[in-house]
């Protein structure tokens, strides 16, 4: 690839990024790229490292586009590694990873309200899960958590009752509190959107303990995935790209 063609490829990739930011935000053509990038990063929880790289790319774009040319060629020419890195950033922005792609391969476990509590405890032991969607004949019944189970056990002790584990999960749901709420989201939910939703308080106060992913985000649909706080590190990693050549994160 010649120097001139590398510069042209860089400008093409950069223009794709800029147009995506502008159309996603609905911003006017005269707004600066740095303003667009900052607003987009805030909305989508874009990693700071990627935001810094966008600033570097913008500086290089300005040099290529606005500085004088020598013998018909730009005085600055992007290295092949820079083109590769910009392409990775472009792909991250235009085709962001969904939560289902990030958590692919993980078993989705739900329980019924009339299942015995011991069935949930077995899943806690074998899978180390702490939240489970619960369904009954009418559909969505709630989210059972290990915290709710602990509160339920505490009530058994206070009442001097012998717990056999045969009691229904519905009894544990009765011990659920506001912080045990779940939010249903569609399968198109991106990793960045999931990060934001897990940190945003619900209408009644606390933030969701889990996101239950269904086909279109309706409660009555079968769960395709469950996203919890323990998944945040994986979601953040999915939004990152390898460090640009010669740079440290």
Sequence ranges of the chain with CATH classification 3.10.580.10: 101-236
Q: For residues 191 and 76, give the distance between their C-alpha atoms in angstroms, rounded to a whole number.
A: 35
For the stretch 182-213, pLDDT in tens is 999 999 999 988 998 998 898 877 899 999 99
The 10s digit of each residue's pLDDT in 87-120 is 999 999 999 999 999 999 888 999 999 999 999 9
Determine the topology of domain 101-236 in CATH. CBS-domain (3.10.580)
The pLDDT of residue 163 is: 66
pTM of structure: 0.79
């Amino acid at each position: 690839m010649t120097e001139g063609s590398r510069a042209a490829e860089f400008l093409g990739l950069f223009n794709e990024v800029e147009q995506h930011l502008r159309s996603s935000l609905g911003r006017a053509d005269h707004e600066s790229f740095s303003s667009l990038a900052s607003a987009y990063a805030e909305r989508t929880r874009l990693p700071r490292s990627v935001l810094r790289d966008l600033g570097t790319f913008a500086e290089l774009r300005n040099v290529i586009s606005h500085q004088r040319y020598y013998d018909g060629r730009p005085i600055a020419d992007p290295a092949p590694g820079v083109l590769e890195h910009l392409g990775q950033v472009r792909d991250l922005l235009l085709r962001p990873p969904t939560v289902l792609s990030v958590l692919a391969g993980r078993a989705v476990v739900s329980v019924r309200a009339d299942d015995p509590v011991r069935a949930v405890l077995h899943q806690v032991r074998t899978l180390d899960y702490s939240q489970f969607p619960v369904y009954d004949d009418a559909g969505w019944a709630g989210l059972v958590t290990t915290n709710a189970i602990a509160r339920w056990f505490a009530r058994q002790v206070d009442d001097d009752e012998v717990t056999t584990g045969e009691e229904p999960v519905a009894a544990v749901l009765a011990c659920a509190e506001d912080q045990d709420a779940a939010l249903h989201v569609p399968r198109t939910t991106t990793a960045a959107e999931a990060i934001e939703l897990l940190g945003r308080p619900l209408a009644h106060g606390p933030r969701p303990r889990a996101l239950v992913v269904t086909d279109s985000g309706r409660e009555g649909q079968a769960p395709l995935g469950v996203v919890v706080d323990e998944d945040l590190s994986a979601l953040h990693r999915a939004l990152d790209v390898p460090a640009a050549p010669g740079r440290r994160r």
